[in-house]
Amino acid sequence: MRAIVLVVFVFVYAAMALGRLPGLALDRAGAALLGAIVLVASGLLTVPEALGAADAPTLALLFGLMVVSAQLRLGGFYTAVSRRIIAATASPAGLLARVMLAAALLSAVLANDIVCLAMAPILVEATLARGLSPLPYLVGLALAANIGSAATLIGNPQNMLIGQVAGLPFLGYLAAVWPCVAASLALAFAGVVVAYRGRFAGPRLTLSVAAPPFHAWQSAKGLAALGVCMAFFCFGGAPRENVALGCAGALLLSRRMTSRETLSLVDWQLLLLFLGLFVVNREVAAAGFLTDLHDGLGRAGIDLARPGWLFAATAAISNIVSNVPAVMLLLPGHESPQQATLLAVSSTLAGNLLLPGSLANLIVADQAAALGVRLGFREHARVGVPVTLATLVVSGFWLFRG
């Protein structure tokens, strides 16, 4: 039976590393789900046991916040914010600073993937209309969205999981990481400015991007739901997942926006990825492979119980299999407040290293490509690599200072 678990583990995590398996129309979510199905079909665990392997509070929190974000997107909130930022009179570097600051702040309280999905097309349209190259702004958007999402326990999926499993306090985590997040954002801004010095100008073109129109009432409902969530997250009173689900339920009670429309913007693929990985990782741990892995690393002189090794290993593995699978693999046994914080910061910042390192990067590139602007691997890496290394050094210095 250990052989079956090992084959499933290699199959699933190969898909995590490659994005999909050669010769098969199977992406990361499909591979994780198929791995879970194989484990159940082989009799290694029952369906109730598979469902019990999932961290239901994390899935509920993810779903609830996805609905809140969908409300804001359909209400045109992201569109309105993006257009107001770009319409402001500013130098090219000043405009970049406004874009990156807005992306970071929005990503701290809303899913960074949705922020990139909504802002990237508007950025391309507006920069081309002003005779600017979209590339520095797109790269800045991706970097800032990832960095900003590290600031809170709801900024990205892996932080939500870490916060739920490790029981981290919302404000306590924010207080511990905001200085290194702010420094990382400044480093990212400087990195983009230096990389694109003398290359901010571009062709002047007119594009028309389809985006949800702004509805004040619908946006206000989404912001009110977000405000309720943040109040409970910061000051307690109820489990986070209960609050998020309650706000999502209230938003679905609408006379204007159909539930089908709202739920179509929920990232079901991500939820299935989580579900599949929960099941696979449960069996990997039960078969003793995680213990074998830690023992093997220990014999090689790599002790993940030490903060420095955990921080470095998280960054490295996040760039091999992506940050969500990396966190799900490393989190068991590393749930102390310091270890959980290191996992959250390292896995998130590591996503900026290379274009496939995070979903937010790929979303920006895909949205730009749909409008005829190519943000390729090398274009991203020439900024992402030095910025990521610098932000990891600065963040590590801050988090290890005690």
Please tell me the distance from the alpha carbon of residue 352 to that of residue 356, in angstroms, as a whole number: 9
Q: Is the pLDDT score of 183 beyond 90? A: yes
Instruction: Provide the mean pLDDT of the chain.
Output: 92
pLDDT digits (tens, 9 = 90+) for 286-326: 888 888 888 888 888 888 889 999 999 999 999 888 889 99
**Structure tokens given for 347:** 């896995």
Which has the minimum average pLDDT: 130-134, 138-142, 153-157, 317-321? 317-321
What value does the mean pLDDT take over residues 262-279? Answer: 93
- The pLDDT value recorded for residue 247 is 97
pLDDT in tens, 326-378: 999 899 889 999 999 999 999 999 999 998 888 899 899 999 999 999 999 99
Q: Which pLDDT score is estimated for 402?
A: 57
Contacts 24+ apart (CB under 8 A), 186-191: 187/387, 187/390, 187/391, 187/394, 188/100, 188/140, 188/143, 188/144, 188/147, 188/352, 188/387, 188/391, 189/96, 189/97, 189/100, 189/140, 189/144, 191/143, 191/383, 191/386, 191/387, 191/390
pLDDT at position 255 is: 87
pTM value is: 0.92
Give pLDDT, residue 218.
94
Backbone angles phi, psi at 332, to 5 degrees: -55, 125
User: For residue 161, is pLDDT > 80?
Assistant: yes
Q: Could you read off the pLDDT of 24-66 as tens digits, one per residue? A: 888 889 999 999 999 999 999 999 999 999 999 999 999 999 9
DSSP assignment string, 296-323: HHHHTT--TTSHHHHHHHHHHHHHHH-H
pLDDT at residue 237, rounded to an integer: 82
Average pLDDT rounded to a whole number, residues 138-152: 97
pLDDT over threshold 90, residue 17: no
Task: Confirm if 57 and 164 have CB atoms less than 8 A apart.
Answer: yes
Residue 61: the pLDDT is 95
- Return the CA Rg of the chain: 21
Residue 321 has a pLDDT of 86
Q: List, for residues 208-256, the tens digit of each pLDDT value.
A: 777 888 999 999 999 999 999 999 999 988 999 999 999 999 999 998 8
pLDDT at 140: 97
**pLDDT average, residue stretch 170-187:** 97
> What are the φ/ψ torsions at residue 273 (nearest 5 degrees)?
-60, -45
